[in-house]
Structure 1
Amino acid sequence: MKPARMLRVLGLAGLGSLAAFSATAQDAGYYYGGLSVGQSRARIDDERITAGLLGAGLRTTTMSLDESDTAFKLFGGYQFNRYLAVEGGYFDLGKFGFTSTTVPAGTLNGQIKLRGFNLDLVGTLPLSERFSVIGRVGAQVARASDSFSGTGAVQVLSPNPSKRATNYKVGLGLQYEVNPSFLVRAEAERYRIDDAVGNRGDINMYSVSLVFPFGRTPAPAPRAMPVSTYVAPAPMAEAPRPVPPPVAPRQSASFSADSLFAFDAATLRPEGRSALDGFMAQLGGLQFDTIGIEGHTDRLGGAAYNQRLSLRRAEAVKDYFVVQGRVAPEKLRVSGKGESAPVTRPEDCKGQTATPQLIACLQPDRRVVVEVNGLR
């Protein structure tokens, strides 16, 4: 076999740099397992087969090729953080073959089966909250089992050669997170293979994978921090009067935008919805006049864009309260402050380029503040 048209496996060189971002990962490490099913494709070197037969005094008249088959993988791995995992598994690339008809009259039949084990380093580059690009590079040990038979003028001297060899493998694909316990991948992979008769070539596998994380723990939701309230004492009077109920003029909580939303997005994450549910549960049956919702961003990006993003995030929180039936729409007030009210100081977070270190330093500025007014 000889190499098929080369896959353009882009981004594999970035696997090492992805590891540098591990400090910003949102999930703790977890184990996972899965299954891949797809199609494998090879390129049989018909010119070499024809030349070999001609050297034996046999001229090839026709040749039929079987260059594709069903392939599958069983795999398991450990995801260290959002960007890096190690994965091992068993693969079966199927079988490929040919039939050659010769003059003097005869036929030569050949078939190869390929299966083995692999160990890969898998890098993940998030594109959005659910979509990611994945790239892999690793080593695999494959066993090639050949089978040859001849009829008529064709005689086979070694009918069942086999060989086990270690080679590289690479791959590129997309991953979609259906939920924290179920992911779907679509991948193209290349396996470097040694057959058992002195040839080297590539097998390409195109597959769909189902991935099942075990015990995956999402990032904890932020806790609402109510402001302590002051209750004025009842006024002294000659005649006893009913003591008025305690008055809490306002209560507020600040939520990290990184927990409520994906980076540079305004769609609530599941853990963000849980945090908002917890805050509303603290209010219980208390009555109030209005709830103010303020969105804030860091200074990265343009001021006009940050203003719009902060307002969209505040409106997303408002819409969630309304859809859940927690608050009447007329009691909600939203505003976007953009980057105008940072929590951090310029001397603490220096620079203007969005490096991972600066993004992490400016995290307190990306927030949504919810303030309840007129509690009673």
Structure 2
Amino acid sequence: MKTNKITQAMTVLFLAGVALPAVANDQDGWYVGAGGGAALATIDEQEIRTDLMNSGYQVTEFREDDGDFGYKLFGGYQFNENFALEGGYFDLGDFSYQATTNPAGMKSGQLDFSGWNIDAMGFMPFTQRSSLFALIGVHRSKATVDFSGTGAVNVLTPHYSKTATDYKFGVGYQYQMSQRFSFRLAAERYRMDDAVGNNGDLDFYSLNLVYRFGGSSHSPGPVVQERRPVAPAPAVATAEQYCSSLEIEFEIANDDIQRVNSEHMRVLATFLDKYPETNAVIEGHTDNVGSEADNLQLSQQRAQAAVDYLVREHDVDRDRLTVVGYGETQPVADNSTTAGKQANRRIHAIIGCATDIEGLEPLPARISLAMELEFDTNDATIATKYHQELDSIGKYLQMNPELTATLEGHTDNSSPDIAQQISRARAQSVADYLVQNFNIDRSRLNVQGYGSTRRDTYNTTAAERQDNRRVNIIIGYPK
């Protein structure tokens, strides 16, 4: 059996070491995958006719089957966003022909092609989730050719088999569906020896699923701590690259940007303003309470709220911000605990790195402190145990007359009217304490009551209900 030498070139894209734009999540580490699709060969009809004619036969009819289903199994290691090594097993199926002759007879041929390969792969990300890739490699494959003859056609050597090493190359597209799964579309060309002394090519077009066992992220880690957060300063990623990242948490069933997170959003906006070539992906997440559909919608709302805030408050171009909602599918903590649920109700913002040897100068320091006081059921009396901390707040406000404080009151389960009344009374009692004991001007104190609309926990236990009966004091923000 013979195949044509196909000379059409397939462009090989950038391979290892090319500097390319960063994606949201670097998927370094081990992975496995499987795929299948169409394998195609071009059977050299003219040469087969010529061989038969030289043997005294005239071909009256020629039929061929030049396509089959092929598959491959593979595994590899991703070194960075641009380079991976991959190896695996492939079987590209069977290809055959039948030539009817005069004198009456028939000659048939069938080629089987399978083997092992190792490839070097280069990736070129062009969105946060999508990449083009190219590969070049070698394969150790076995080509088996079987011939048969009927009637007047006599086949002297019916079986040929040869194992050889040759090259392969290809191009494709990869899309990251989730932290673990990606799919690929690939077009590959295998150079082959067909076991009867002819070199040719087989083309393989496949759809593949990739599973990653884990990896590292080159983005900076969390930069906001619960309750007493610190504004997220950009971190140096390399000698000449500056990156920024942001994580903020949300109250139950809520997508509002809280005051304690406003400063962190401001630092993020400053980074985006200084580096107008960078973009940000805003990812929303939830805990696992409620339906998957509702949580997916809530996570998208949270991400959208962050985008809207950056556009509205800081004039960030909306085209530079991408919204993604993951619902409950990517927890960072155990949803069986209250603290874990709260950690999972979050926004994660990933911002592209910028090159600027001068770096990013942080904003002039503005206070971003938060203190939380808890209360008894339906009570607005400040417990004695909080007096010492409140005294520290009062003295700090005395020493810094330009600062203001926002007092946010909250409750556990109550009727809406009672909840609003109690929550505001709690915030007002803290304001009265600061005025009476430290002579703080009331114009510097912003009193807000939120009732039970902003819960930290689910009110299922006495301890959780206690957590929701609280006043938050946030210093450093104007009314």
For normalisation by structure 1, the TM-score amounts to: 0.68
Q: Is the 1:44–1:67 Cα contact (8 Å) retained in structure 2?
A: yes
Write the mapping of 1:32-43 to structure 2, written as runs, cut at 5 A: 32-43=31-42
CA distance in 2, matches of 1:188, 1:197: 26
Judged with a 3 Å threshold, the aligned counterparts in structure 2 of structure 1 residues 3 and 360 are, in CA distance, closer, same or farther, namely farther
Asked whether 1:374 is paired with 2:405, we answer yes
Match among 2, 5, 12 for residue 3 of structure 1: 5
In the TM superposition, what are the counterparts of 1:47-196 in structure 2 within 5 Å?
A: 47-196=46-195
Change (3 A) 1:141 1:321: closer
Aligned residue among 264, 270, 289 for 1:296: 270
Please say if residues 222 and 245 of structure 2, whose CA atoms lie closer than 8 Å, have aligned partners that are also in contact. Answer: no
Three-state SS of the structure 2 residue aligned to 1:291 is: helix
Choose between structure 1 and 2 for higher RCO, CA contacts under 8 A separated by at least 6 residues: 1
- The residue type equivalent to 2:405 in the other structure is G
Name the counterpart of 1:199.
Answer: 198
Task: Give 1:335 shift.
Answer: 1.5
Q: Of residues 302, 314, 320 in structure 2, which corresponds to 1:323?
A: 302
SS of the residue aligned with 1:188? Answer: strand
Q: 1:323 deviation in Å?
A: 3.0
**CA 1:52–1:28: 2 relative to 1, 3 Å:** closer
- Classify the secondary structure of the residue corresponding to 2:177: strand
State the shift of 1:251 in Å: 7.0
The residue identity in structure 2 corresponding to 1:163 is K
> CA 1:321–1:201 in 2, change beyond 3 Å: closer, same or farther?
closer
Q: SS at 2:313's partner residue?
A: strand
Number of aligned pairs?
A: 306
Change (3 A) 1:73 1:360: farther
Q: Using the alignment, how far apart are the partners of 2:260 and 2:126 within structure 1? A: 41
What one-letter code is carried by the residue in structure 2 that aligns with 1:253? A
- Tell me, in whole angstroms, the C-alpha distance in 2 between the residues paired with 1:118 and 1:219: 30
> Relative to structure 1, is the Cα distance of residues 49 and 360 closer, same or farther in structure 2, using a 3 angstrom cutoff?
farther
Query: What is the aligned partner in structure 1 of residue 15 from structure 2?
Result: 15
Cα distance in 1 for residues equivalent to 2:282 and 2:33: 39
| Matched residue, 1:253 | 231
Structure 1 residue identity aligned to 2:249 = D
* Distance across 2 between alignment mates of 1:177 and 1:186: 12
Pairwise CA distance, 1:291 = 3.1
CA contact (8 A) 1:75 1:87 kept: yes
- Give the equivalent residue in structure 2 for 1:335: 314
Q: Is the Cα–Cα contact under 8 Å of residues 289 and 374 in structure 1 kept in the other structure?
A: no
In structure 2, what is the equivalent of residue 222 of structure 1?
221
Query: Greater CA deviation, 356-365 or 201-210?
Result: 356-365
How far residue 127 of structure 1 moved from its aligned partner, in angstroms, is 0.6
How far has the Cα of 1:277 moved from its partner? 2.4
- The code of the aligned residue for 1:335 comes to H
Q: Which residue of 1 aligns with 2:428?
A: none
1:29 is aligned with what amino acid? D
Matched, 1:277 2:249: yes
Structure 1 residues 363, 178: CA separation in 2 closer, same or farther (over 3 Å shift)? farther
| Alpha-carbon distance in 2 for matches of 1:26, 1:362 | 26
Structure 2 residue ranges without an equivalent (≥5): 253-257, 285-297, 318-351, 369-403, 407-472, 474-479
Change in CA separation of 1:215 and 1:179 when aligned onto 2, cut-off 3 Å: same
Tell me if the contact between 1:93 and 1:115 (Cα under 8 Å) persists in the aligned partners.
yes
Instruction: Name the one with the larger strand percent.
Output: 1
Structure 1 residues 298 and 41: alpha-carbon distance in aligned structure 2, compared to 1, 3 A threshold: same
User: Which protein has the larger Cα radius of gyration, Structure 1 or Structure 2?
Assistant: 2
The offset of 1:115, in angstroms, is 0.2
Structure 1 residues 256 and 177: alpha-carbon distance in aligned structure 2, compared to 1, 3 A threshold: farther
Distance between the aligned counterparts of 2:300 and 2:215, measured in 1? 28
Per-residue deviation, 1:276:
1.8
Please state whether the residue corresponding to 1:179 is helix, strand or coil: coil
- Identity within the alignment, %: 32
The answer as to whether partners of 1:251 and 1:371 remain within 8 angstroms in 2 is no
Q: Partners of 1:208 and 1:276 in 2: how far apart? A: 38
Q: What is the rounded CA distance, in whole Å, between the counterparts of 1:201 and 1:113 in structure 2?
A: 14
Contact 1:22/1:81 (CA < 8 Å) preserved in 2?
no
Residue 215 of structure 2 aligns to a residue whose secondary structure is: coil
Task: Give the deviation of 1:29 after TM superposition.
Answer: 3.3
Paired with 1:291 and 1:358, the residues of 2 have a C-alpha distance of 23
1:225-259 Cα offsets, whole Å, 9 max, x none, are 68xxxxxxxxxxxxxxxxxxxxx9x9750254999
1:51 counterpart SS class: helix
Q: Provide closer, same or farther for how the CA distance between residues 251 and 53 of structure 1 changes in structure 2, counting only shifts above 3 A.
A: closer
Q: Structure 2 length normalisation: TM-score?
A: 0.54
